[in-house]
Structure 1
Amino acid sequence: MIALSAAAETTHHLKPLISDLGLILMTAGIAVLLFKKMKQPLVLGYLIAGFLAGNHFDFFPSISDMHSVEVWAEIGVIFLLFSLGLEFSFKKLMKVGGTSSVTAITQIIFMVMIGYFVGQWMGWGKMDSIFLGATLSISSTTIIIRAFDELNVKGKKFVGIVFGALIVEDIVAILMLVLLSTIAVSNEVSGGALLQSVLKLIFFLIIWFLGGIFIIPTIFKKAKHLLTDEMLLIISLALCLMMVMFANEVGFSPALGAFIMGSIIAETTMAEKIEHLIQPVKDLFGAVFFVSVGMLINPETLVNYALPVAIITLVTIFGKAFSSSFGALLSGQPLKQSVQTGMSLAQIGEFSFIIATLGMTLKVTSDFLYPIIVAVSAVTTFTTPFLIKYSESFALALEQKLPKKWIKNINRYSVNAQAIKSVSTWQVVLRASVTQIILHTIIITAIILLSSKFVAPLVADTRFGNTLAALITLAVIAPFLWALSLRRVKVDEVESLWEERKYRGALLMLILIRMSLGLFFVGFLLNIFFSPLVAFVALIIAIGAYQIFPKKLNEQYHRIESHFLKNLNDRENKKIDRRYANLMPWDGHMSFFDIGKESNLAGKTLQELRIREQMGINIAYIKRGDVMISIPTKTERLFPGDEICVIGTDAQITEFTKYLNQNETEAAKEVEEAEIVLRQLEIADDDFIEKSIGQFRFKTGGMVVGIERNGNRNLNPESNVILQKNDIIWVVGDKKKMNALFRKV
C-alpha cells in the first residue's frame, strides 16, 4: 500500500511536468514546420508557440506548472551559452582586428546611451532604462547568419566585418551580465563597484582560460582512444556544469560559466565533434527557452505599450544602423562597406532575451520591459533580411547624394586609417613586458589565494605544517616567479634600445618593477603561514635560492609554457572559417573554394584558364593535401580536391563563383588555415621606391594585388607599374616573409 501510494504521488507530480513538456514540444514543432515552410526564422516560431501555450491565450491548451518551465528555460540558457562559447573561441577574438572591434564598441556605447535616454524620456525608472539600453546594444547572431544564408552574400567583404563585430558583442554581452548584476544588487551605478566587478571578471577569465587550456586538451588527448561519442557528450556536459558551479560560487551568473567552458573547449581538437554532439541537447532546451520567452508575451501589455514598442523598434533599426556604420567608418572602412555593415546589425535577439531575463530574475525591472523587448526583436527579425538586401543600393544612393568633398575625405581617411605604420621598438618591448607582468601576477595571485584558503586551514594546528605548506606553494609558484621577475623578453629589441641612452631609464624601471613584484609575492606568501619576522628571514633565503637555481627554474617554466602553447595551438593551422578571412580595406578581399572531383578545371594550368585576365581574380595559394603552393605561377595546374584562396572584389567573387559552379566546382565551407597573409603597407623604403611591381615581387616573394596612389585605387596592377613614395600597396605572401618585410619598412 505504501509503495502504491508513493507511486501514485510520483505520478501526480509527473503528470503536469510531462503534459506541459509535451504541449510545449508539440506546439513548438508545429510552429517550426510552418515557419520553415514560410522561410522565416525559427526563433519567431518558438515565440509564437510560447504565446499560444502560455496563460495569456485562452483559445489553446495552456501549461499548468510555470515553475518547471522556468527551470527548463534556465537549463536552456546554460546550454545555449555553452554552444555559443563553442563557436566563439578567444583566438577568434584575437583575430577580429581593429575594424570589427571599433565597429562593435562604437555601436554598443551609442545604443546603451540612446536606450537609457529613450527610457528616461518615456518616464521609465532608472533600472528599466539601463536594461533597455543593454538589450538594444547586442545584435542577433542567429538572425544574421540565417539572413546571410538566404541572401547568399557570404562571399562579400562586409560579412567578415559583421561576424567580427558579433564576436566582440558576445564577449561584451557577457561583461554586461556581470555589470548589470552588480548594478541590480546595489541598485545604483557605483564606479568603484563596477571597476571591482570588471577586474574580478578579468581575473577569473584569465585564470579559467589558462587553467582550462593547460588541463582540458591534455585530458582529451590522453583519453582519446577511450572516448566514444556517448562518453564525449557526457564529459563535455559535465565540464560545462562544473564551470557553471564555479562561476556561481564566485558570484557570477551560471550563463557566464557555460560560455567560458564552451570557449575553452573551442580551442581543442575535439571542438567540432563536441559541437555536433551537443547540438540536439542545445536545440531541445534552447527551444524550451525561446518558448518560455513567448509565454511571457501579454497581448494587453503590448496593446497598452504599442507606442513604446514602435518607438523602440525605430530607435533600434535607425540607431544601430547609424552607429554601426559610423563605427565602421571610424575604423577606416569605405562608405559602401560601412553602410552594409550597419544595416546588417540593425536588430536584437537571443542575448537581449537573456539580459531581459536577468532583470526579471533579479526583480529590478518592470513587467512590461520583457514583452516589449520580445516584440521589438520579432519586428527587427522581419526587417533584417530587407535591410541587408537593399544596403548596397542604399549605400550607392548615399554616395550620389552626399557632397563630393565628403566622399573624397571619407576615401582618403579610409586609406590613411588602414595604412600600416611601423610600430616602434619601445612599444614592442613595453607591450611584451606588460603582458608578462599581468599574466604572471594573476597566476601567482590565484595559486597563493587557493593555498591560503584550502591548504593553510589544514595545517594551522600542526608543528611543521606551515613550513611544509609554504614550501609546497613556493615550489609551485617558483617558475612563474622566475618568469615574472627575471625572464628576459624581446632580447634583441631591448639590446637595441639600450644603445639609445634615452630608453635606459625606462628599461631599468621595468626591470625594477618586475623584481619588486616578485619579492612582494614571496613575502606575501610567507606572511600567510608565518609571522612577519620569520617571513622576512625566509624571504632572504628564498631570494638566494632563486639566484642559485635560475637554469632549473628556466627549464621548468619553459616545459609549462610549451605544454600550454601546444594545447592552445593544436587546433591552430587546421581549420578556419572563411568568414573570418583577413580582409582588405576596400572591395578586394579573400575567399576560399574547393576544386570538385568532376570539375572541368582539373588538370589545366592557370595560364590556360586565364582567370586573372578574364575576371581580375588573383590566386593567393593552392593547398593540395599537406602541400601549400604559395603565390602559384602561371604554369601551376589545378587538380581535384585542391583548395584555393582567391582575391577579388565582391562583383569579381560573385562572377568567379558562377564560373566555378558552371564547371561543377563547389565552394568550400572550411579550409586549412594557410601561412599566406594579405597585408597593406605604405612605400617609404628607398629599396622599393622607383622599382617596378615585378621587381618588388622578385625581391620579397610577395604578390601585389592592389595599389593606392593619390586617392586613386587600382586592383591587380600590371607588373611594370613603378612604385612611388607614399604609395599604399596590398601584398599577398608568406606570413614570416611579410612580417620580416613589414618590420624592415
Structure 2
Amino acid sequence: MDHLVLEIGLAVVLIAVAGLLSVKLKFSVIPFYILVGMAVGPHAPKWGVFDFRFIESAPLIEFMGRLGVLFLLFYLGLEFSVGRLIKSGRSIVVGGTIYIAINFTLGLLFALLAGMPFKEMLVIAGITTISSSAIVAKVLVDLKRTANPETEMILGIIMFEDVFLAVYISILSGLVLSGSTSFAGVALSALIALGFMLAVLVIGRKAVPLLNKVLDIRSNELFLLVIFGGLMVIAGFSETIHVAEAIGALLVGLVLAETDHMKRIEHMILPFRDFFGAMFFFSFGLTIDPTTLGGAVWLSLGAVVITLIGNFVAGMLAGKSAGLSPKASVNIGLTIVSRGEFSIVMANLGKAGGLMTILQPFAALYVLILAILGPLLTKESKRVYKLFYARKENAKAKENAQAAERAQAERREG
C-alpha cells in the first residue's frame, strides 16, 4: 500500500495520454482507455526488472470505475425525464422484446453450431445478448445524441435488458451453480425488478414538488452531498434486489430531471462523470488477461458478426415498431451493439460453475472487439445508413420525379 497514491497518479496520467492520443487520431476514446488498462493490468507481462503492472491499486481503481458507471447513467437520466419515458412505454416494451428475442436466439444458435454443451450455450447466449450500459451512455453523451428521437428507445431497451438480466441470472445461477432452479423464485425476481423500477419512476414523479424544496440549498457542498447520498443509496439498494446499480442511477437521474434543479445538478456532476467514467474503462482493461485471448479468436469473431447482424435487424424492427425513421432505427441498432460489464458477469458465472475455460477469454475478446467497433459504428452511423438506404432513396426520388413529370405532362395536355 506504500505506492498506492503513486499508482493512482500514474493511472490518471496514462488515461490522460490515451485520451490525448484518441483526440489526435479523431477516434473514440473508449478503446484507448481499455487498451492502456490491458497493457498495465495485473495480467500484463513483466518487462525484465521493470514492473509497470497496476496490482496494488487495482481494487481501488475498480471501485472508482463502478462510480464511473453510476455517474454516466445518472447523467444520461438527467437528459431525459420520467414523463418522456412513460409516454414511450408501449413502444419500449415491444422494441425491448424484439431486441432480446433476436439477439438471444442468435446467441443460442451460434453456440449450438460451435458445438457447445447446453449450459455453455446458455452462458454464451447471455454474453451476446446484453449491451453495455456504460459504453452506450458514454457514446450518446460524447456524440451529443441525447436529444435524438431514437434515444428514448435506446434507454428503454437498456432498462428492458436489465429486467431480462435479473430473470436470466436467476435461471442461469440455478442451473449452473446448484443444478436446479425454482420457477417461483425466477418470477419473483422479475416482479421485484420491474416493480422497483416502476415504483421509483411513479413515486419520484409524484415527489417532484417535495424534491424541489429539499434541493433548494445554497451551499454547493451540501447540495452535492445530498445528490450523491441519494444516488448512492438508491443505486446500492437496487443492487441488493438484483437490479443493476447502473439502472438505479439511471432511474434517479430520470426523476431529478423533472425538478427545477436539473441544470444545476447537470453542471455540477459533469466533472465527476468524465473523470470516473474514464476510470471505468481503464479498470475494465485491467481485468482482461491478454495472454488468454489467442485461443478464442475465431469463436469471438463469429460471435461479433452474429451480434452486428442481430443488432442491425433488431434496431430496424424496434425503430419501425415505434414509428421512427430508417435513419433513427439504424442509430438504435448501432448504438447498443457494444458489450461490456454484463457480458463479463455472465462469463464469471460460467467460471464459478466449472464450465469450459474458453468462456472467459471468449467474453474478454468479444467485449474488447465490440467496445472498439460499437463507438466507431455509432459515430459513422450516417455512412452505414447511406450504404444500405442510398440506392433505395435515390430510386424513390427518381420515381417521384418521374411521377411529377407525368402529372405535369397530363395537365399540359388537358
TM-score over 0.5 (shorter chain): yes
Contact preservation (8 Å) 1:51, 1:297: yes
User: 1:311, CA displacement in angstroms?
Assistant: 1.5
2:85 corresponds to 1:93? yes
Aligned counterpart, 1:140: 136
- Give, as a single letter, the amino acid of the residue that structure 2 aligns with 1:129: I
2:94 corresponds to 1:106? no
- Give, as a single letter, the amino acid of the residue that structure 1 aligns with 2:138: T
User: CA deviation digits over 1:470-497, x for unaligned, max 9?
Assistant: xxxxxxxxxxxxxxxxxxxxxxxxxxxx
Aligned mates of 1:307, 1:245 — CA distance in 2: 38
Distance 1:100 1:378, change over 3 A: same
Distance 1:211 1:94, change over 3 A: closer
- Give, as a single letter, the amino acid of the residue that structure 2 aligns with 1:384: T
Aligned mates of 1:329, 1:170 — CA distance in 2: 18
Aligned mates of 1:114, 1:243 — CA distance in 2: 34
Distance 1:33 1:264, change over 3 A: same
Matches within 5 A, 1:294-309: 294-309=285-300
Q: Give the alignment partner of residue 385 of structure 2, picking from 391, 394, 416.
A: 391
Aligned mates of 2:113, 2:181 — CA distance in 1: 19
Aligned mates of 1:206, 1:329 — CA distance in 2: 25
Aligned counterpart, 1:367: 360
Aligned mates of 2:202, 2:124 — CA distance in 1: 37
Aligned mates of 1:236, 1:119 — CA distance in 2: 44
Aligned mates of 2:379, 2:45 — CA distance in 1: 30
2:276 corresponds to 1:285? yes
What 5-or-longer segments of structure 2 have no aligned partner? 405-414
Contact preservation (8 Å) 1:77, 1:286: yes
- Give, as a single letter, the amino acid of the residue that structure 1 aligns with 2:155: I
**TM-score, with structure 1 as normaliser:** 0.46
Distance 1:202 1:332, change over 3 A: closer
Distance 1:118 1:168, change over 3 A: same
Aligned mates of 1:385, 1:284 — CA distance in 2: 22
Distance 1:132 1:222, change over 3 A: closer
- Give, as a single letter, the amino acid of the residue that structure 2 aligns with 1:316: T
**TM-score, with structure 2 as normaliser:** 0.78
Q: Give the alignment partner of residue 188 of structure 2, picking from 185, 191, 196.
A: 196
Contact preservation (8 Å) 1:309, 1:376: no
2:233 corresponds to 1:237? no
Aligned counterpart, 1:73: 65
Aligned counterpart, 2:25: 38
Determine what percentage of the aligned residue pairs are the same residue: 20
RMSD of the alignment, in Å?
Answer: 3.5
Aligned counterpart, 1:346: 334
Aligned mates of 1:137, 1:123 — CA distance in 2: 27
Aligned counterpart, 2:409: none
Q: For 1:140, what is the secondary structure of its paired residue?
A: helix
Q: Greater strand percent: which structure?
A: 1
Distance 1:348 1:373, change over 3 A: farther
Aligned counterpart, 1:131: 126
User: Which protein has greater RCO, CA pairs closer than 8 Å, 6+ apart?
Assistant: 2
Q: Greater helix percent: which structure?
A: 2
Matches within 5 A, 1:210-289: 210-215=202-207, 217-222=209-214, 224=216, 226-250=217-241, 252-289=243-280
Distance 1:276 1:109, change over 3 A: farther
Aligned counterpart, 1:324: 315
- Give, as a single letter, the amino acid of the residue that structure 1 aligns with 2:166: V
Aligned mates of 1:273, 1:322 — CA distance in 2: 39
Aligned mates of 2:131, 2:94 — CA distance in 1: 18
Aligned mates of 2:323, 2:102 — CA distance in 1: 18
The higher radius of gyration belongs to 1
Distance 1:116 1:88, change over 3 A: farther
Q: Give the alignment partner of residue 186 of structure 1, picking from 174, 187, 208.
A: 174
- Give, as a single letter, the amino acid of the residue that structure 1 aligns with 2:386: E
Contact preservation (8 Å) 2:131, 2:342: no
Aligned counterpart, 1:355: 342
Contact preservation (8 Å) 2:96, 2:156: yes
Distance 1:144 1:79, change over 3 A: closer
What 5-or-longer segments of structure 1 have no aligned partner? 1-12, 403-407, 409-711, 714-745
Aligned counterpart, 1:206: 198
- Give, as a single letter, the amino acid of the residue that structure 2 aligns with 1:113: T
Aligned mates of 1:343, 1:249 — CA distance in 2: 33
User: CA deviation digits over 1:319-350, x for unaligned, max 9?
Assistant: 211232233345556xxx32662365225466
Matches within 5 A, 1:296-695: 296-331=287-322, 337-338=325-326, 341-342=329-330, 345-346=333-334, 348=336, 352-359=339-346, 362=349, 363=352, 366-368=359-361, 369-398=363-392
Contact preservation (8 Å) 1:347, 1:380: yes
User: CA deviation digits over 1:131-178, x for unaligned, max 9?
Assistant: 2232359783433554577xxxx99xxx52x22321211211332342
Contact preservation (8 Å) 2:72, 2:137: no
User: CA deviation digits over 1:456-514, x for unaligned, max 9?
Assistant: xxxxxxxxxxxxxxxxxxxxxxxxxxxxxxxxxxxxxxxxxxxxxxxxxxxxxxxxxxx
Distance 1:398 1:45, change over 3 A: same
